[in-house]
Amino acid sequence: MSVTRVVVGYDATLPSSAAVDAAARLVPHAHAWITYLWTPPLVDEDLRRRLWTGSRSLDEFIQAIEREGQWRADRIADIGATLARASGWQAETLAHRVMGGEGLELAQLVEKMQPDLVLLGTRGLRGIRAVLGSVSDIVVHQSPKPVLVVPHPLLSTEHHALTDGPVLLGWDGSPGARAALDTAQRLLPGRNLLFATVEDDDTTPEAPPRTGDADPTWLRIPRGHGTTAQAVAHGLITGARDHDAALLVVGSRGRTAAAEILLGSVVMATLHQSHRPVLVVPQPDAD
């Protein structure tokens, strides 16, 4: 059985820890790089006083802060790796020093490592509290690989659905939707796929393809209220809730400047409003 390679953005918070547990239920066979991006000094005021008292020069003081900061970063990554192994994954650590811009740094790391999946946990903030420009938003925009975003907290029913619940895939017949389908079949083999189309009087999407011996399950979901993006996102989220889906899968339209505007609509509305995990799949060769 193939092993999925996962870059995990980890910071020892409850959302990031819960994301590892949730992802291990969705993708049980994985090798994870538990990645903690840290910014100096990563030591509290009391420790800085201790280091300064025991240092003879400013250079020694800076070196001591760097040493302690790296040691703490390694410890945080170790905690994440222990959790990942307890969840059934293989795991190794990567504590990476950065000077800020964690979202961009993580996206660049993904570009370099070429995993099958990127995992992030969020606090599940909704509405105006879901601030654009967060680490998860930036990684979703910039990552060349699929990104799984797990909101926190999950209800007990949402958590139970992770193990064997169906996968609800937003379907509009586009290349992005087809890329999302390919990714869902590769990362989540054996899961029941539900193709969800939010009804639109102006267009009729191409019917979803057969994924096995049976005809595909095609859900026609009424649009919600609000803007087009909000209405489509609401429809997808409602469909996932009504069918007790393990997660939603949506395809993006690429990473060009113009495409980011589109990504910032339906996909971001879904991310900011969903109470279930969302897998965002970039369109291949879109940029």
Would you state the structure tokens that stand for residue 26, as one six-digit string? 């969705």
Cβ-based neighbours of 188, under 8 Å, separated by 6 or more: 26, 27, 167
Question: Which pLDDT belongs to residue 129?
Answer: 41
Angle at the Cα of 156 from the Cα atoms of 140 and 252, rounded to 5 degrees:
20
The tens digit of pLDDT for each residue in 109-155 reads: 999 999 999 999 986 555 434 444 478 888 988 899 999 999 999 99
Q: Are 5 and 116 in contact (CB under 8 A)?
A: yes
C-alpha–C-alpha distance, residues 73 and 44, integer Å: 13
The beta strand positions in 187-231, using DSSP E, are 193-198, 217-221
> Which residues lie closer than 8 Å to 156 by C-beta, 6 or more apart?
none
d(CA 117, CA 5): 6
Give CA torsion, residues 224, 155, 278, 100, to 10 deg. Answer: 120
The whole-angstrom separation of Cα 265 and Cα 236 is 14
Q: What is the pLDDT of residues 59-78, one digit of tens each?
A: 777 777 788 888 889 999 99
Q: What is the mean pLDDT of residues 52-60?
A: 66
Each residue's pLDDT tens digit, 174-202: 888 999 999 999 999 999 999 999 876 56
C-alpha 11/C-alpha 27 separation (Å) is 21
Q: Which pLDDT does position 124 carry in this prediction? A: 54
Q: Residue ranges of the alpha helices (H) in the chain? A: 14-26, 45-53, 58-86, 102-113, 135-142, 156-164, 175-187, 228-242, 257-262, 268-273
* Higher-confidence position of 119 and 209: 119
DSSP three-state, residue 85: helix
**Least confident segment among 109-123, 220-234, 241-255:** 220-234
Q: How far apart are CA 138 and CA 86, in angstroms?
A: 29
Structure tokens belonging to residue 62 = 């800076």
The rounded mean pLDDT for the chain is 84
Threshold 0.85, pTM exceeds? yes
- For residue 112, report the phi and psi dihedrals to the nearest 5 degrees: -75, -40
Cα–Cα distance, 120 to 32 (Å, whole number): 12
Strand order across the 278-281 sheet: 90-97, 30-38, 4-9, 117-122, 147-151, 278-281, 247-251, 167-170, 193-198, 217-221
Selection from 176, 174, 219, 178 nearest residue 196 by Cα: 219
Report the 3 state secondary structure along 103-147. Answer: HHHHHHHHHHHCCCEEEEEECCCCHHHCCCCCHHHHHHHHCCCCE
